[in-house]
Amino acid sequence: MEKVVILNFLDQEGENNRLDSFLTTKFSEYSRSFMQKLIKNGHIEVNGEIVSKVSYVLKEEGEIRVKFPEPENFDIEPAKVDFEIVDIQDDFIVVNKPAGLVVHPAPSCRGELTLVHGLLYQFRELECFGDSERPGIVHRLDRGTSGLMVVARNVSSKIKLSALFKERDVDKTYLAVVEGHPDKSGKIDYSIGRHPSSPYKMSHVGFCSRPALTRYEVLEYYKNHSLVEAKIFSGRTHQIRVHFAAIGHGLVGDKTYAHSSKLIDRQALHAWKLSFSLKGKDNSYKADLPDDIKSLIENLKS
């Protein structure tokens, strides 16, 4: 069902402000490219007139009417997918996602099998969720990132786990191989937002930036690279990748924010440890490095 939202804007708020940027600020859960698509498709009215130019500049007081079309639905049939199940509890499942596997269906990966397909195949109780595209999903990992994820098994636990992630009460530790030699330890606290010119990238100088904090420690220096342990205290998209690129030490193999590598065909990033407390019980998990990152490290040592 189509949703309509009406916004009021003032002179000082909209003056010399592009419409797409203004809308992205107001609806931070959506990307700028999504808002641009709404504008181009005639879903935005300014003071009663349809605006189809994304660079339209707001110059006066008035009203913006935003029509959100009905979300695209995906027909998801459970299917066998290869991933490791680390633990099964009454309220949640912990999995070790392999690199290359997308977490849930999206327009950009139409027709691909995802982690959700495999979860529905092995855990039919997940069909109880109203959200058939992301049943039990409370956080994500990028396609090219491997490692630990927790998945809720029922609505009650999904609410509780989602709250833990929102309140930053989940301890997430990653291992990454980065270019160069960063300081032995440190913090990176650049805010992160949408990239100014690329709708599919994030940036520490981007639009609608939000605070982000990463702390790291170098575990081992190699000739021209380093193995680092990184902990994130916020959940921004591509956070570790953007932060290390921002300090000049991009992740090995990261084609988006650093450089491709002959030694690994994805970013060298692994969700290594995951811990949280649920219903008064502490839960801690660790997933060993996958073979491709182990092989990368051996090559860098030689």
Buried (b) or exposed (e) across 129-164, using 16+ Cβ within 10 A?
Answer: beeebbbbbbbbbbbbbbbbbbbbbbeebbebbeeb
Cα-flanking dihedrals φ and ψ of residue 294, to 5°?
-60, -45
DSSP 127: G
Structure tokens at 217: 């420690």
Is residue 142 among the annotated active site residues?
yes
DSSP 49: E
Distance of CA 125 to the CA centre of its chain: 26
* Dihedral, 136, 142, 145, 148 alpha carbons, nearest 10: -20
Bridge partners for 269 per DSSP: 176
Q: Which long-range contacts (CB under 8 A, 24 or more apart) does 259-262 make?
A: 259/179, 261/296
CA–CA dist 83, 96 (Å, integer): 6
User: How many CB atoms are located within 10 Å of the residue 75 CB?
Assistant: 7
Closest C-alpha among 192, 222, 220 to residue 208: 192
CA–CA dist 103, 120 (Å, integer): 12
CA–CA dist 274, 165 (Å, integer): 12
User: How many CB atoms are located within 10 Å of the residue 70 CB?
Assistant: 8
CA–CA dist 145, 195 (Å, integer): 20
CA 276, 93, 165, 239 dihedral sign is: positive
The residue from 11, 90, 131, 142 that is catalytic is 142
Catalytic residue set: 142
